[in-house]
């Protein structure tokens, strides 16, 4: 089914129609499907990301559709599925369970001696496993229809299901991770499916992911450092400190970008944790860290990836916060607009 765009004015004011950017597409005629995942059960600092998909949807009406790099990409169709309220309710329940558990262990108490807290931890881990399966099934359904798929979180753990679904369609591919954190902990605070363990779980479970390139990392622990060093270059991490020092010495971002791209395989998945940006752009993200990228730095890199002939096979945007003035979701809407155009572009 081809969408009728004859009555749609891309230069006019966007009309709220329950779709991203007010675009006149349906699930049937859109080439790219966005799955919102309202989930932040394992968030360990600031909350709010579970409700960011609805806020980004609202903010997206302020995004102009003209992109000088990818002028007609949106015409191929983007449709965001409705937020599943059952998932959101389950998130809210398990988030409270996890808060009780975290408060307990952070007070210095031992979980082995408390049956109630052991039950809480079990329920949270099982709930996260069920969420991963739900995301996997939803993404697989769309991929089987020939759709392209992106995930909109929620916390970073929600990306697992899409990556797993893509691994069944692609023999091998690489992940480009934009993040302030490595997310390579074997488990975090006893939570095996934490947002801090997403890339560890992906690398251990999904052999199709042959390369993980991490950009902007500036907050990590010793075990993650050791895991990177022992990965035999399956993981290549560009720490923020190293990138900045190379630039201070006179190296251009263009040269560093070319080096990054040379290590990527032909097929690339982009995992975009918004806290990889400078916190001035995402002050209400779950765990903001000083430093970070400007949006245009990353857009420059993405353009070069596409121009290199590599193919973007999927993406997630996670950890966008919710703010009283709409700033975080406004930035998030513009990031996801660029990601959609990348997915739909042709060179």
| Strand ranges inside the chain, DSSP E | 32-37, 78-80, 148-153, 173-178, 209-217, 235-239, 267-273, 311-318
Interhelix angle 115-144/85-106, nearest 10 degrees: 150
Model pLDDT, residue 120: 86
pLDDT digits (tens, 9 = 90+) for 185-221: 998 778 889 889 999 999 999 999 999 999 999 999 9
Q: Which domain holds residue 209?
A: 20-344
Q: What contacts 138, CB < 8 A, 6 or more positions away?
A: 35, 81, 161
Task: Using a pLDDT cut of 90, give the percent of the chain over it.
Answer: 82
Model pLDDT, residue 346: 67
Q: How many distinct structural domains can be found in the chain?
A: 1
Look at residue 226 and tell me if it is in a domain.
yes
Global pTM reads: 0.95
Least confident of 40-49, 147-156, 305-314: 40-49
Q: Report the alpha-carbon distance of residue 158 to residue 95 in Å, rounded.
A: 14
Look at residue 6 and tell me if it is in a domain.
no
Look at residue 320 and tell me if it is in a domain.
yes
pLDDT digits (tens, 9 = 90+) for 116-128: 888 888 999 999 9
Phi, psi of 255 (to 5 degrees): -65, -45
DSSP 276: G
CATH number, domain containing residue 329: 3.40.800.10
Look at residue 13 and tell me if it is in a domain.
no
Model pLDDT, residue 117: 81
Average pLDDT on 256-272 reads: 98
Look at residue 143 and tell me if it is in a domain.
yes
DSSP 290: S
CA of 281: how far to CAs of 138, 209, 278, 292, in Å? 30, 30, 6, 10
Look at residue 191 and tell me if it is in a domain.
yes
Q: Report the alpha-carbon distance of residue 345 to residue 347 in Å, rounded.
A: 7
Q: Are 220 and 226 in contact (CB under 8 A)?
A: no
pLDDT digits (tens, 9 = 90+) for 7-42: 899 998 888 899 999 999 999 999 999 999 999 998
CA of 151: how far to CAs of 129, 135, 163, 201, 280, in Å? 17, 9, 10, 17, 24
Look at residue 188 and tell me if it is in a domain.
yes
By CB atoms closer than 10 A (0-12, 13-18, 19+), residue 105 is middle
Look at residue 2 and tell me if it is in a domain.
no
Q: How sure is the predictor about 6, in pLDDT bands with cuts at 50, 70 and 90?
A: confident
């Amino acid at each position: 089914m081809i969408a009728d765009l004859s009555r749609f004015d891309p230069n006019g004011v966007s009309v709220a129609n329950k779709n991203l950017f007010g675009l006149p597409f349906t699930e049937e005629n859109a080439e790219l499907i966005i799955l919102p995942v309202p989930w932040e059960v394992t968030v360990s600092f600031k909350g709010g990301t579970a409700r960011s998909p609805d806020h980004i949807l609202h903010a997206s009406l302020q995004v102009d559709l003209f992109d000088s790099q990818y002028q007609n990409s949106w015409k191929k169709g983007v449709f965001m599925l409705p937020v599943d309220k059952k998932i959101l309710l389950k998130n809210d329940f398990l988030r409270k369970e996890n808060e009780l558990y975290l408060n307990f262990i952070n007070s210095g108490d031992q979980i082995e001696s408390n049956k109630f807290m052991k039950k809480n931890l079990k329920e949270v881990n099982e709930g996260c496993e069920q969420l991963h399966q739900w995301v996997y099934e939803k993404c697989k359904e769309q991929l089987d229809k020939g759709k392209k798929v992106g995930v909109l979180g929620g916390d970073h753990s929600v990306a697992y299901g899409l990556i797993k679904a893509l691994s069944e369609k692609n023999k091998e591919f690489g992940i480009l991770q934009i993040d302030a954190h490595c997310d390579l902990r074997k488990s975090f605070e006893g939570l095996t499916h934490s947002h801090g363990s997403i890339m560890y779980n992906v690398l251990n479970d999904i052999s199709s992911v042959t390369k993980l390139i991490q950009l902007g990392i500036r907050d990590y622990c010793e075990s993650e450092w050791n895991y990177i060093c022992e990965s035999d270059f399956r993981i290549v991490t560009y720490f923020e400190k190293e990138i900045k020092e190379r630039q201070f010495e006179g190296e251009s971002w263009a040269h560093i970008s070319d080096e990054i791209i040379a290590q990527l395989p032909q097929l690339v998945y982009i995992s975009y944790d918004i806290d990889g940006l400078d916190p001035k752009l995402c002050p209400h993200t779950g765990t903001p860290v000083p430093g970070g990228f400007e949006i245009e730095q990353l857009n420059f890199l993405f353009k070069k990836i596409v121009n290199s002939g590599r193919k973007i096979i999927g993406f997630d945007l996670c950890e966008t916060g919710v703010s009283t003035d709409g700033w975080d979701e406004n930035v998030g809407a513009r990031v996801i607009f660029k990601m959609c155009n990348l997915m739909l572009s042709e060179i």
